[in-house]
Amino acid sequence: MPNNLLRRRWFLQGVAVSPTWLPFRSQSNAKPPPPPHPSRDELAGAFEEWEDMVPFENEDFRRFDESNDKLFYDEPKLVEHIDKAGVSALTRFHETELQNIAQGLGKSSTQDLDVLDLCSSWVSHLGSARPRKVVGLGMNMEELQANPVLTERIVADLNASPKLDLPDSSFDAVLCQLSIDYLIKPIDVAAEAFRVLRPGGVFVVTFSNRLFFQKAVAVWTGKSDLDHIETVGAFMHYSDAPIKSIHAFDLIPNVIKTGGDPLYAVVGTKS
């Protein structure tokens, strides 16, 4: 077990640890070195091998703040959770991905697509793409009502119940933006995402390393970007859904030079 995860588990279980082990604790006023950035080869090989057994334990999905999530999300958060470059990259990726999905499914344009936006909020980052249906499922109705692209709004807590009250094979794309690190049952959520997808549809999970630390699950915190990529791929793989392929994308490959927020996508295609 990696030391950082072991230390996190000890902290959650009430074991005293050195302050130097606590996340984000700086040893000096010096600027820390940039985090390791995955190479193209690492991205390409992220999902080549899988363990026979699910590599997660219940402790991996514990959080510092285990209070009711409804309390945390009761106040609307009408802000972006990544920087401007990240927002632009996310929007461009969704535009391109939805166009590719429409083409791959033999549809004339993105206007023929049905999209489910999980953990939705006041913005879905679809850019010029205008699907005929965009269902937003989130924790706060005020945030959902502020989102102009949504055609339907559902308030639901996926941590309370990952089951989606939606019919099988009813969407061409399911999105989960900047929220996978807060889900305590992500494998179940992935299974549900693939269940509601039509054959050939895609589950698109995007993430950075910014987060509300108190609500992030233990398996996420203190990990590298490549660890995050592999973890999201594992959530999909171990869902036992009929998956044709899983691919990873680096949406801001020059982030080390620019100094902004990293941004990645893991895309699973349903058989």
Per-residue pLDDT tens over the stretch 196-211: 999 999 999 999 988 8
Q: Averaged over 103-119, what is the pLDDT?
A: 96
pLDDT band of residue 256 (cuts 50, 70, 90) is low
pLDDT band of residue 29 (cuts 50, 70, 90) is very low
* The predicted structure's pLDDT at residue 210: 82
Cβ atoms within 10 Å, residue 82: 23
Average pLDDT, the chain: 87
- Whether residue 160 is predicted with pLDDT greater than 60 in this model: the reply is yes
- Whether residue 148 is predicted with pLDDT greater than 80 in this model: the reply is yes
Flag the least confident range among 27-31, 71-75, 181-185, 227-231: 27-31
- Whether residue 27 is predicted with pLDDT greater than 60 in this model: the reply is no
Residue 157 CB contacts under 8 Å (≥ 6 apart), including other chains: 69, 70, 139
Q: Averaged over 7-26, what is the pLDDT?
A: 35
* Whether pTM exceeds 0.85: yes
Residue with more model confidence, 216 or 255:
216
pLDDT digit string, tens, across residues 230-250: 999 999 999 999 999 999 999
Q: Averaged over 142-155, what is the pLDDT?
A: 97
Residue with more model confidence, 20 or 177:
177
